[in-house]
Structure 1
Amino acid sequence: MPVPSSPIITQSFSEQVCKWLNKMHLRYEINLETAFATHIEIRNDNGRLLSLVLVNLEDWQKSGSPDNWQLEFCDLINRRKTGEKSVLIWEDYWLTEPQVVKSRISAMLGISQKIAARLTQVRRIDQETASHFLEKNHLNASVSAKTRFGLFLPKRYFRILKSDFECDRESEELLVAVATFSAPRVFAREDGPFRSFELLRFASLLGTNISGGLDKLLMAFVREKNPDDIMTYADREWSEGAGYEKIGFERISETQPMQFYLSSEDMTRTAKSSLGAIAICNAGSIKFVKTYKLPD
């Protein structure tokens, strides 16, 4: 099957992931191999467990079907109900955004560079700055947004960064997180218009975990826009959205797994089929909403 890179990849998807885990000195074991997926359990030095479900595209083409995908999806959800962290990763994301995937896995294992949001400064940023950051640090890149905020770590706090953390140490600040928001949707109500916004994207800098980062960005947005509510979606391939619930979002509804078509030439995903495209499924999403009180 063609892949979107010039070097010939001779290792399988799971072999590439295991090679990276070895490089990171992480303990792991392959505990299950199904018709199209490999299950790997990882433990860090603190014993934190993370289960990876790796979906191999070639095997999926041979054996994938809605029925066995539903079985895989149900197993993923059941694992999470027992308190286990479990992530599902399609091979195309590993091929096209390997650094983002590795960064997110590292953050879940607690081995990323930790930065406290209280050390950062928040301010508005332009579309170009937000897009440049999200293209590098978000799995689904950037989308057009009405409002954008960034978190900046001032140079005086660069001392908290590990010696091997790569960044421009001569810069006056470091952009470590970005959140983007939609224009408001306005609903007519008896007590006046209701303004609802969507949190479109949130990402932290590769290799970092910004403790309290999203909450600080949301508070800046709320101070400026005074929304009646903010809604967003959690990708179920990665989590059940516990991070949103922790900062006051309420779980509203679920979107069931949806079918997409993957180009075998450049690994892009679209809603429409094309010649040679591979039909794949995502794991759906969860809608979250945080409601704010109207001003007196």
Structure 2
Amino acid sequence: MKSEQHFQEPICNWLESIGFRCEEMAGSVPEIGRIKIFSGNDYVMQLILVHLGTWLNEDLPKKMQTTFELMTIERAAGNQCVVVWEDYWISKPEIVQSRLSAMLGRSYKIPARLTIARRIEKKDAVSFLESNHLNGSVMSKFRYGLFLPSRYYRVLAADFEAYRGGDELLVAVATFSHPRIFNQEGETVRSYELIRFASLLHTNVMGGLDKLLNVFVKDRQPDDIMTYADLEWSEGASYRKLGFEMKGRTPPIAFNLDVNTMTRTSKSTDSEGQVTVYNAGSIKYVKPFEYAS
């Protein structure tokens, strides 16, 4: 399958290398690529591919809304559907592949019960998130990590030989905000935000987020924790399983993309190669907590 306009070919080549089959879809928005992914004869996921060259088309942002509506319909039918931007594929291909692999069930599984949870230093959280989270690291107040002791390295594949040198391996990180304190129905509420969560590339730490949340709650005793699900990747089913409640949607956010460096920022510059792009928005989730008197 070949496309001059989109970047289906390298993505499909990678998917086929891990045992999947791709099928290009004809869409109502020809500027945006859509492919179906099959495992054998079973349809397992749809990808929506946003090519930067077509983003300069002044009508495309409006057409993206149509595509996002199709994404919502696809998910409502029970199918996985992900938006992949070309700049992410070019600048962070391994992270994109890792996330897709996890969703397709091809990541190496690490049971969270084998790990040890504890607070970590800012520099360690930043380094881990820059290497393992699609959006990198941002400011945070509290940082926690899950460490796999060397006695359990046997659960790792040979691919992880480079990580086996120490007594333990950092396999997941979660970061949290300062508390936001406000009055609600006459009661003082301390609300924290779960800012980032990421697992080590090509791994799925099963129960990892739940374990990190439990340690944070024990330490800080929040009245609630809020977070956001990136609609380009999912509608937050994993949060709902952990007791988070949907509290509404946020509109698409504008970013300034430098097509020379493939980096996104919230601030505009005078760079000639800068274009404005919009994400699909997000869903806000909140998990309340109650404590025995």
| TM-score, normalization by structure 1 | 0.91
Separation in 2, partners of 1:12, 1:76: 18
User: Could you tell me how far 1:135 is from its partner in structure 2?
Assistant: 0.4
Q: CA RMSD in A?
A: 2.0
- Shift of the 190–83 alpha-carbon distance from structure 1 to 2, 3 Å rule, reads closer
Given the alignment, which residue of 55, 77, 91 partners 2:86? 91
Q: What is the aligned partner in structure 2 of residue 157 from structure 1?
A: 152
Secondary structure of 1:93 counterpart: helix
User: Could you tell me how far 1:89 is from its partner in structure 2?
Assistant: 0.8
1:282 aligns with 2:279: yes
Given the alignment, which residue of 148, 173, 194 partners 2:143? 148
User: Could you tell me how far 1:17 is from its partner in structure 2?
Assistant: 0.9
Given the alignment, which residue of 219, 233, 257 partners 2:214? 219
User: Could you tell me how far 1:191 is from its partner in structure 2?
Assistant: 5.1
After superposition, give the CA deviation of every residue in 1:173-211 in whole Å (9 maximum; x if it has no partner): 111100000010111356542100000100000000111
Given the alignment, which residue of 18, 25, 37 partners 1:24? 18
Separation in 2, partners of 1:247, 1:48: 27
- Shift of the 19–189 alpha-carbon distance from structure 1 to 2, 3 Å rule, reads closer
Separation in 1, partners of 2:42, 2:169: 32
| Structure 2 unmatched runs, 5+ | none
Separation in 2, partners of 1:66, 1:55: 11
Secondary structure of 1:188 counterpart: strand
Q: What is the aligned partner in structure 2 of residue 3 from structure 1?
A: none
Q: What letter matches 2:18 in structure 1?
A: M
User: Could you tell me how far 1:277 is from its partner in structure 2?
Assistant: 2.0
Contact 2:176/2:193 (<8 A) preserved:
yes
Contact 1:120/1:154 (<8 A) preserved:
yes
- Shift of the 11–170 alpha-carbon distance from structure 1 to 2, 3 Å rule, reads farther
Structure 2 counterparts to residues 40-55 of structure 1, below 5 A: 40-44=35-39, 47=42, 49-55=44-50
User: Could you tell me how far 1:295 is from its partner in structure 2?
Assistant: 4.1
**Equivalent residue pairs, number:** 287
Structure 2 counterparts to residues 4-83 of structure 1, below 5 A: 13-32=7-26, 34-44=29-39, 47=42, 49-62=44-57, 64-83=59-78
User: Could you tell me how far 1:42 is from its partner in structure 2?
Assistant: 1.3
Q: What is the aligned partner in structure 1 of residue 236 from structure 2?
A: 241
- Shift of the 143–258 alpha-carbon distance from structure 1 to 2, 3 Å rule, reads closer
Contact 2:6/2:33 (<8 A) preserved:
no
Separation in 1, partners of 2:107, 2:286: 28
User: Could you tell me how far 1:165 is from its partner in structure 2?
Assistant: 3.5
Contact 1:35/1:59 (<8 A) preserved:
no
Q: What letter matches 2:17 in structure 1?
A: K
Separation in 1, partners of 2:77, 2:196: 29
Secondary structure of 1:254 counterpart: strand
Separation in 1, partners of 2:107, 2:59: 34
User: Could you tell me how far 1:268 is from its partner in structure 2?
Assistant: 2.2
Secondary structure of 2:287 counterpart: strand
User: Could you tell me how far 1:74 is from its partner in structure 2?
Assistant: 0.3
After superposition, give the CA deviation of every residue in 1:224-281 in whole Å (9 maximum; x if it has no partner): 0000000000000000000000000000010122333311221222345444422222
| TM-score, normalization by structure 2 | 0.92
1:175 aligns with 2:170: yes
1:270 aligns with 2:258: no
Separation in 1, partners of 2:147, 2:38: 32
- Shift of the 45–153 alpha-carbon distance from structure 1 to 2, 3 Å rule, reads farther
User: Could you tell me how far 1:43 is from its partner in structure 2?
Assistant: 2.4
1:292 aligns with 2:286: no
Separation in 2, partners of 1:48, 1:121: 37
Between the aligned residues of both structures, percent identity stands at 51
